[in-house]
Structure 1
Amino acid sequence: MTIYGNSVSGNCHKVAFVCDRLGIPNRWLEVDFLKGETRTPEFLAMNPAGQVPFIRFEDGRLLAQSNAIMLYLAEGSDLIPADAFERALMNQWLFWEQYSHETAIAVRRFHAFVLKKPDSDIDPALMEKGNRALGVMEGHLATRRYFVGEKLSLADLALVAYTRFAHEAGFDLATFPHVRDWVKRVEDDLNLTS
């Protein structure tokens, strides 16, 4: 299996987290979207959306979108709760991550950290939206160690991917101590370093 990804992308990290945690062999192919490598005719023939991550299996099948990839790779593992309601809760957080979290924290990080734009050139609504998302996480984590159930799930992997780099977007996790502690816990579970 080949992962087409970019090392700066939290969405790509999510796929790597699952592979590393479950011991899934893979080959990482670094794709530089800043150099237009996701817009070449060859790339678009494989993934018309022109995004990373996506994976190519040995048999030629392709799969895109980080959360869809994670769900497929983790099928049958302990990263997906066995209980139907807990699975639904995990999916709830996966959808929320892509709609309410990633669209603020990842986007602001891209502008601030990757493109090196000054704050004055970044939409100020992104900071408000990101802090609101972190506030939702803070409230949820005030009474639990993980997002669903009593152990690590795909919800944690999805949400930690950009949260662990929120400081690169200008967010201060010191004001969200439950989130900060959860990030450290998940990083330890995954044997990551910040």
Structure 2
Amino acid sequence: MKIYGDRQSGNSYKLLLVTSFLEIPYEWQDIDIKKGETKTDSFLKMNPNGKIPILILDDGRILSESNAILNYLAEGSDLIPKDRFEKAKVLQWQFFEQYSHEPYIAVARFISHYLGIPEERRAEYESKQEGGHKALRVLETQLTKSKFLVGDSITTADISLFAYTHVAHQGGFDLSLYPKVLEWIKRIESLERFKPMNSI
């Protein structure tokens, strides 16, 4: 199978992590967002939404949306709980990631780390700080109760939230304010077969 993604993208990084943890073979295809490679006719045929990552299976079927791909790849593994309620909790955290976390932390990171906070986007960057800190506080609260987001072992919920949280400082977020989050980051980084973001 083939994964189309950007090496700097947290959404793409989720798939690097799950394939590494589960030792799933794949072929990587670099897509440069800043060069407009998600807007080409050939890419839009694969994903009309013009976003990465996408997964192309051996039989040609295509999946988009990072968390959908992540859960597809992890299906049947210990990364997805068997218990119905705990599985729903994983999905709860993944919806949180896409609606209450990524729009603030990932966007602030992009504006700061990749664009250098141009003046025309400074107000947008600053507007993302409150929402990002709110999301980090939610994570901190949960991680005072459990080692991982859903119990005492890693799930796809952790992979989803780790991807942009561990680089949140690149968006101007001081992670030292969130000691339990920092412990959780170190816990994930210490797992067997962990790979850092730029190791694709």
Normalization by structure 2: what TM-score? 0.93
The equivalent of 1:83 in structure 2 is: 83
The equivalent of 1:191 in structure 2 is: 194
The equivalent of 1:53 in structure 2 is: 53
Q: CA deviation at 1:149?
A: 1.6
Gaps of at least 5 residues in structure 2 are none
The equivalent of 1:121 in structure 2 is: 122
Residues in 2 aligned to 1:164 and 1:71: alpha-carbon distance in whole angstroms: 20
Q: What pairs with 1:94-173 in structure 2 (closer than 5 Å)?
A: 94-118=94-118, 121-123=122-124, 124-173=126-175
Partner of 1:133: helix, strand, or coil? helix
Identity %: 47
**Cα RMSD, aligned residues only:** 1.3
**Contact 1:53-1:66 at 8 Å conserved across structures:** yes
Normalization by structure 1: what TM-score? 0.96
Partner of 2:189: helix, strand, or coil? helix
Q: Which amino acid aligns with 2:122?
A: D
Residues in 2 aligned to 1:16 and 1:192: alpha-carbon distance in whole angstroms: 8
The equivalent of 1:14 in structure 2 is: 14
Residues in 2 aligned to 1:122 and 1:17: alpha-carbon distance in whole angstroms: 33
Q: CA deviation at 1:84?
A: 0.7
**Contact 2:3-2:29 at 8 Å conserved across structures:** yes
Q: CA deviation at 1:191?
A: 2.4
**Contact 1:108-1:122 at 8 Å conserved across structures:** no
Partner of 1:51: helix, strand, or coil? coil
Q: Which amino acid aligns with 2:17?
A: F
The equivalent of 1:37 in structure 2 is: 37
Q: Deviations over 1:22-67 (max 9, x none)?
A: 1110011000010011001111111111110001112111000000
